[in-house]
């Protein structure tokens, strides 16, 4: 199975090119250990869900509260991509370095901006066998956090990347992964946190401004796993 990296770097690239001034994400970007262990919280069964079922379990504006605006889906990107200084990402392929979504057929995605600022949060849901989900997302996080610094050249734009493996939140789902990415280009800098939780046959990935990821992760997992 060919695995493609989730939308994190692609989103970072877009944010860097769109931000009008030199800016570093102002939300708290320090690593967190997450909530205390809560055995059995938001676990899921083995049923593989359809994309339509996943769509109904995504967060919406009502779940998030005031100040959030849903973003339109981004069209597919086909820019030439080169990864410099990270062999593990090269092994996944150039497209994988900024890819669209993971290559599981059952998937759903949504993104929001917050209070009209550059702060964003996105949610991705996937469904497949537990083994396939675990292998796919585990390989991606291992590759992305295995290189502390590297460069992505997308469509001729060089982007300097720094990655940091974080302690994932404990007690959520069956497996957890988390990382912090800092992207810099043309004097602009963006910090993005990405946390992935596998609960049975469901895989949840929440990415965006670190404070927003921490704020909505539990809620996203509870809604995604509801009824499973």
**One-character DSSP codes across 160-217:** EEEEEE-PPPTTSSSEEEEEEEEEEETTEEEEEEEEEEEETTEEEEEEESHHHHHHHH
Q: Which of 147-156, 193-202, 205-214 has the lowest mean pLDDT?
A: 147-156
Q: Is 7 helix (H, G, I), strand (E, B) or coil?
A: coil
Choose the most confident range, by mean pLDDT, from 12-16, 77-81, 135-139, 219-223: 219-223
Q: Which of the two residues, 104 and 85, has the higher pLDDT score?
A: 85
Contact 161, 182 (CB under 8 A): yes
pLDDT tens for each residue of 141-188: 888 888 999 998 877 888 899 999 999 998 899 999 999 999 898 888
CA 30 – CA 63 distance, rounded (Å):
25
- pLDDT of 82 reads 79
Q: Which of the two residues, 45 and 15, has the higher pLDDT score?
A: 45
Does residue 26 carry a pLDDT above 70? no
- pLDDT of 88 reads 83
Does residue 79 carry a pLDDT above 90? no
Does residue 77 carry a pLDDT above 70? no
Q: How confident is the model at residue 195 (pLDDT cuts 50, 70, 90)?
A: very high
Nearest CA among 106, 60, 102, 99 for reference residue 201: 106
- pLDDT of 224 reads 96
Close Cβ partners of 200 (under 8 Å, ≥ 6 residues apart): 43, 44, 45, 46, 130, 173, 174, 225, 228
The third-level CATH classification (topology) of the domain covering 8-225 is Protein Transport Mog1p; Chain A (3.40.1000)
Choose the most confident range, by mean pLDDT, from 3-7, 86-90, 178-182: 178-182
Give the total residue count for the chain.
228
Does residue 124 carry a pLDDT above 80? yes
CA 154 – CA 159 distance, rounded (Å):
8
- Output DSSP code: residue 66: T
Q: Where are the domains of the chain?
A: 8-225
Question: Using alpha carbons only, what angle is made at residue 112 by residues 111 and 114, rounded to the nearest 5 degrees?
Answer: 155
């Amino acid at each position: 199975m060919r695995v493609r990296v989730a939308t994190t770097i692609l989103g970072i690239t877009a944010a860097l090119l769109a931000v009008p001034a030199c800016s570093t994400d102002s939300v708290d970007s320090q690593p967190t250990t997450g909530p205390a262990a809560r055995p059995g919280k938001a676990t899921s069964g083995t049923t593989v869900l359809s994309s339509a079922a996943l769509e109904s379990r995504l967060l919406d504006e009502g779940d998030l509260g005031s100040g959030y605006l849903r973003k339109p889906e981004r069209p597919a990107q086909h820019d030439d991509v080169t990864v410099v200084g990270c062999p593990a990402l090269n092994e996944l392929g150039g497209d994988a370095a900024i890819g669209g979504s993971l290559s599981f057929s059952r998937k759903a995605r949504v993104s929001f901006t917050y209070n009209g600022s550059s702060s964003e949060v996105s949610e991705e849901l996937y469904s497949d066998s537990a083994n396939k989900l675990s292998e796919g997302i585990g390989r991606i996080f291992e590759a992305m956090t295995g290189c502390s610094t590297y460069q992505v050249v997308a469509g001729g734009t060089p982007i300097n990347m720094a990655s940091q493996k974080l302690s994932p939140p404990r007690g959520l789902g069956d497996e957890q992964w988390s990382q912090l990415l800092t992207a810099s280009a043309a004097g602009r800098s963006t910090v993005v946190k990405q946390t992935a939780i596998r609960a049975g046959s469901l895989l949840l990935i929440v990415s965006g401004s670190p404070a927003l990821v921490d704020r909505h992760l539990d809620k996203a997992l509870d809604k995604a796993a509801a009824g499973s």
